């Protein structure tokens, strides 16, 4: 596809965003009616919900087990109803879309249930808590014929799409290596002991289908990212943006065949379980034509400095030059002798991404960050974590079966453990 056509399609959502209409599979809304949205998770969900509201959507529900967060979201979004359990949203035939912006351990179960209820789904990144749930999410969306968009906003941002298209069209020659880095300064979450949940916080609903440990205040708002049962570490939290862009630029349409590297806690003395330092390389299968492709991921979440001018970013290395890209700043194209050839500035766009999603609902086409795309990118993050958690130097991955080859201990982390007999545990896990 030519760059001009590509960018026209990527940005097509903006023009029609002012009045969201709906003509796709659900019977909940007819053509030219306002789309109706339920928001699950009122921290990130509030920011996404503001974009839906700004583009004409009806915010029917906000849902959060934290009473204070739910109340604030209702006020800011002028939501019609507030609940602490998202099942009433699923039961309401007038609701077209569920926004899943809850912690990672809820992404798969909530999205799968929403598909079964005939809802379209906007699910925050990473799309899944683990590789198996990502596959089940694809199956659920296809079975129900609904749109499922992953919150990887770079995919709908014209300036970033332009940079990726430079790479894909050969502006730097044959691209052999893509690098993604996550270098920033995170906080120490400390050491805590179990305690009572704070007032107004429905802890049992928050835990949902995950194993239920006693409440602990450094395993609560935001700090859940650093615990195996609830989060995916910073590679799944922030690094997933850069990994998704790297996969996009490389043009990969499959999983890596091998991952090698290292991950450990080298800096923080606290309770977090995931690595604060990770280096991983992902080797993609040889193509019928063209060179092999390598993706490199670097993570240092104790870094008080930036790399290549960007705190988090991407580099694409080709035989005729290289391109540096940041989702916050834009991109710079360099020639063979490091001369700056072209520079475009800009930042990722949540409004464009929401518009792309709603246009996909109207048209019946796949969105820019379709669940299958999101699953491939999330699998890269999950493999980096499995490598570190299993303490391996290298893992072989069967792309078709989505299984780690010859290592039962590591392969066990392709899935996760659940609370026994919980209503939200997906089937076929």
CATH number at residue 18: 3.40.50.720
Q: Pairing between strand 175-183 and 258-264?
A: unpaired
Q: What is the pLDDT of residue 292?
A: 82
Residues 121 and 246 in one domain: no
pLDDT-flagged residues of the chain (< 70): 1-32
Q: How many CA atoms lie within 13 A of 24 on its CB side?
A: 25
Residues 266 and 294 in one domain: yes
**Whether the Cβ atoms of residue 163 and residue 157 lie closer than 8 Å to each other:** no
Residues 61 and 171 in one domain: no
**Is residue 2 assigned to a domain?**
no
**Is residue 201 assigned to a domain?**
no
**Is residue 147 assigned to a domain?**
yes
SS3 category, 322: strand
Residues 101 and 66 in one domain: yes
Q: What is the pLDDT of residue 32?
A: 54
pTM above 0.85, yes or no: yes
**Is residue 5 assigned to a domain?**
no
**Is residue 44 assigned to a domain?**
yes
The residue count of the chain comes to: 429
For residue 270, give the DSSP letter: S
**Is residue 211 assigned to a domain?**
no
**Is residue 113 assigned to a domain?**
yes
Q: How many CA atoms lie within 13 A of 201 on its CB side?
A: 13
Q: Hunting for tokens 């896990």 — which residue is that?
A: 429
Residue 407 sits in a domain whose CATH number is 3.30.360.10
Give how many domains the chain has, as a whole number: 2
Residues 67 and 171 in one domain: no
Residues 227 and 338 in one domain: yes
Residues 324 and 363 in one domain: no
Q: At what angle do helices 158-168 and 3-10 cross, to 10 degrees?
A: 150
For 391, the domain range is 156-190+218-348+377-414
**Whether the Cβ atoms of residue 392 and residue 407 lie closer than 8 Å to each other:** yes
| pLDDT 10s digits, 352-374 | 999 999 999 999 999 999 999 99
Closest to 84 (Cα-Cα) out of 127, 124, 39: 39
d(CA 147, CA 52): 16
Q: What is the pLDDT of residue 2?
A: 42
**Is residue 139 assigned to a domain?**
yes
| pLDDT 10s digits, 77-110 | 999 999 999 999 999 999 999 999 999 999 999 9
Q: What is the pLDDT of residue 70?
A: 98
Closest to 188 (Cα-Cα) out of 303, 267, 104, 304: 267
Residues 231 and 274 in one domain: yes
Query: Which structure tokens are listed for 96?
Result: 């077209």
Q: What is the pLDDT of residue 385?
A: 98
CA triple 111-112-117, angle to 5 deg? 95
Q: What is the pLDDT of residue 286?
A: 78
d(CA 401, CA 254): 12
Residues 136 and 249 in one domain: no
Residues 299 and 228 in one domain: yes
Residues 20 and 137 in one domain: yes
Residues 343 and 224 in one domain: yes
Query: Which structure tokens are listed for 277?
Result: 């330092």
């Amino acid at each position: 596809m030519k760059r001009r056509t590509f960018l026209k399609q990527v940005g097509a959502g903006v023009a029609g965003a002012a009045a969201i209409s709906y003509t796709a599979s659900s019977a909940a809304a007819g053509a030219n009616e306002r789309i109706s949205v339920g928001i699950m998770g009122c921290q990130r969900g509030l920011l996404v919900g503001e974009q839906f509201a700004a583009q004409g959507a009806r915010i029917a529900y906000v849902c959060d087990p934290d009473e204070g967060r739910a109340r604030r979201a209702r006020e800011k979004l002028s939501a019609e109803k507030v609940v602490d359990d998202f099942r009433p949203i699923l039961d309401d035939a007038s609701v077209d879309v569920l926004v899943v912006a809850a912690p990672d351990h809820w992404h798969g179960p909530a999205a799968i249930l929403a598909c079964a209820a005939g809802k379209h789904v906007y699910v925050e990144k990473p799309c899944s808590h683990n590789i198996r749930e990502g596959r089940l999410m694809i199956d659920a969306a296809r079975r129900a014929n609904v749109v499922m968009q992953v919150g990887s906003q770079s995919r709908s941002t014209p300036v970033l799409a332009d940079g990726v298209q430079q790479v894909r069209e050969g502006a730097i020659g044959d691209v052999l290596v893509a690098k993604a880095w996550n270098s920033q300064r995170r906080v120490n979450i400390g050491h805590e002991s179990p305690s009572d949940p704070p007032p107004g916080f429905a802890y049992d609903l928050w835990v949902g289908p995950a194993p239920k440990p006693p409440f602990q205040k450094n395993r609560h708002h935001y700090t859940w990212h650093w615990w195996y049962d609830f989060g995916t570490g910073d590679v799944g939290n922030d690094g997933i943006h850069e990994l998704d862009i790297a996969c996009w630029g490389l043009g990969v349409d499959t999983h890596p065949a091998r991952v090698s590297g290292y991950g450990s806690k080298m800096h923080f003395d606290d309770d977090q379980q995931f690595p604060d330092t990770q280096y991983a390389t992902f080797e993609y299968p040889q193509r019928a034509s063209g060179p092999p492709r390598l993706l490199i991921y670097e993570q240092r979440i104790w870094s008080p400095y930036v790399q290549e001018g960007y705190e988090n970013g991407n580099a694409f290395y080709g035989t005729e030059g290289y391109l540096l890209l940041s989702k916050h700043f834009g991109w710079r194209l360099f020639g063979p002798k490091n001369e700056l050839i072209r520079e475009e500035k800009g930042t990722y766009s949540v409004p464009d991404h929401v518009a792309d999603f709603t246009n996909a609902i109207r048209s019946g086409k796949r969105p820019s960050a379709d669940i299958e795309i999101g699953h491939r990118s999330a699998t890269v993050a999950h493999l980096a974590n499995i490598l570190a958690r299993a303490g391996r130097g290298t893992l072989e991955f069967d792309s078709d079966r989505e299984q780690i080859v010859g290592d039962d201990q590591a392969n066990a982390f392709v899935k996760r453990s659940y609370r026994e007999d919980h209503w939200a545990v997906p089937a076929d896990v």
